[in-house]
Structure 1
């Protein structure tokens, strides 16, 4: 019986890297937006929650029928009698009232093991609700019941119509035992919470102004900005307007941040902005920064995608622009790698423009940097 549980668990662990990859971007966005940085303890707990949900899903859903066109069930697909499993345990157990040791045979009985499994299945769910989310016990009961109901509905509908017929029964006892497991996990979380870091106090000593803006954070902001910038760019391109790249880049990355305190949409989401150092003029700093970044570094590559400009060069000279751009890209890549390993966030175009990325966080939530534990990534 226990062997049958190893099969879905192995599938859960194999699919976890893919699920984690999909989960990471929204996780980072929410953490930067809500907490201003990434806390390692919070990240570990949430990834463990993802791993648990994958295991629970596979344990409930697997094994599946070999074909979508599975046979219709021969008996009832709904078991509606509460605590029916207790009657099944009593009926199928060989208990001798005169022999005390015979009662231990219950723990090897299949119906008992199935009920125990359904309790254990949602104990981690209750742990997460009690420790990380700090829900009330009433909310824990409702959410545990809701999770169990989701499992049962998914099964009885054949994964919402994917299979022609249900391949598991809807068992009211599963709702009872799963909810009991959630409550048990919730109580365990309350008992052991004193031994674990308090989730609500993880940010109590964090000075956001002292935090370094990581390249991960900057990359996410750029990924959020890119599709917004592309809409007007592609629109102007479809109208065959010359200089569409330069116009949209200047408006979105220079004029917009100048009017919004150094923020684009992506930077606003992850709570960072471009600030000027040494009291430099914001418009001048933004202009120099993005002329170097999008005009020189990226603009040189855009230049290579313009055939009309290259064909105007004499034949022996057409290879020179490609060589120069490749050399420029290689030099910037080396520069970026050096900065990453030296943990120096300022790139060459930031040094020359005297600008930098800065975390924007409400002043009232900032505290002293004393005894600050660096938990950011």
Structure 2
């Protein structure tokens, strides 16, 4: 991570503290008025989204160019996978072996572009319950907006163009959103499988309810009581004394 990126993240954190303070207080008041309590989940969700937005904007926009900064010789890069060539050029310039490719500034910039959009893909699943196609289009659309912002010098608010419109950034940002969607989807699937396994295990160890008691007047007679003791001869009605008349 470069010094400029560290500075941008520091400003992003500062902006988050200010913006979330402005959002959290009205949100707490609304929750108390409507529900009589604070919905911690909604407050936490607002904080996470605000933090991501502040950090993303800070990384994209900051640091702003100063009066003495040199203008870019190239403002548009439309060759896909140009970063591969740039990694090779950087290795050759500093005389480094290919094993140091992941340590080059070019690759680190690419990795940052991927990681920058991973939270967006995760939010599409966890917060908005969106699918793969929506997440891909959202990642590409937001990335395109970022690149247009850089190409137009922050829509004319900056003194000149200080960031390159790069097609590789579009690809990396979209890939980051897709990666975040996949990670969040797998995480949700694992959580659901664990809950299902826990429910099945709980049902397996749960004692079987006893059968409902049969009322005494409906109870079936005991076969042994009817038949008499085991091995005893059956009574012959012809040899039994007749009842005496009353």
Tell me the TM-score normalized by structure 1.
0.45
- Find the counterpart in structure 2 of residue 112 from structure 1: 107
Superposed, 1:83-232 pairs within 5 Å as 83-93=81-91, 102-194=97-189
Secondary structure at 2:154's aligned position in 1?
helix
Q: For residues 57 and 166 of structure 2, what CA distance do their matches in structure 1 show? A: 17
Instruction: Report the RMSD for the aligned CA atoms in angstroms.
Output: 3.1
- Correspondence for 1:59: 59
How many aligned residue pairs are there? 189
How much does 1:22 deviate? 3.6
Superposed CA deviations along residues 241-276 of structure 1, whole A, max 9, x for unmatched, are xxxxxxxxxxxxxxxxxxxxxxxxxxxxxxxxxxxx
Change (3 A) 1:31 1:158: farther
How far apart in 2 are the matches of 1:102 and 1:109? 11
**Larger radius of gyration between Structure 1 and Structure 2:** 2
CA spacing shift, 1:166–1:88, aligned 2, 3 Å: same
Q: What is the rounded CA distance, in whole Å, between the counterparts of 1:24 and 1:166 in structure 2?
A: 35
Q: What are the ranges of 5 or more consecutive residues in structure 1 without an aligned counterpart? A: 95-100, 198-377
Distance in 1 between residues matched to 2:190 and 2:162, nearest whole Å = 43
| 1:132-170 deviation per Cα after TM superposition (whole angstroms, max 9, x unaligned) | 111111110111111111211111111111123211111
| Separation of aligned partners in 1, 2:2 and 2:72 | 27
Deviation at 1:36, TM superposition (A): 10
* Contact 1:126–1:182 (Cα < 8 Å) also in 2: yes
Is residue 43 of structure 2 the alignment partner of residue 43 of structure 1? yes
Give the secondary structure class of the aligned counterpart of 1:93: helix
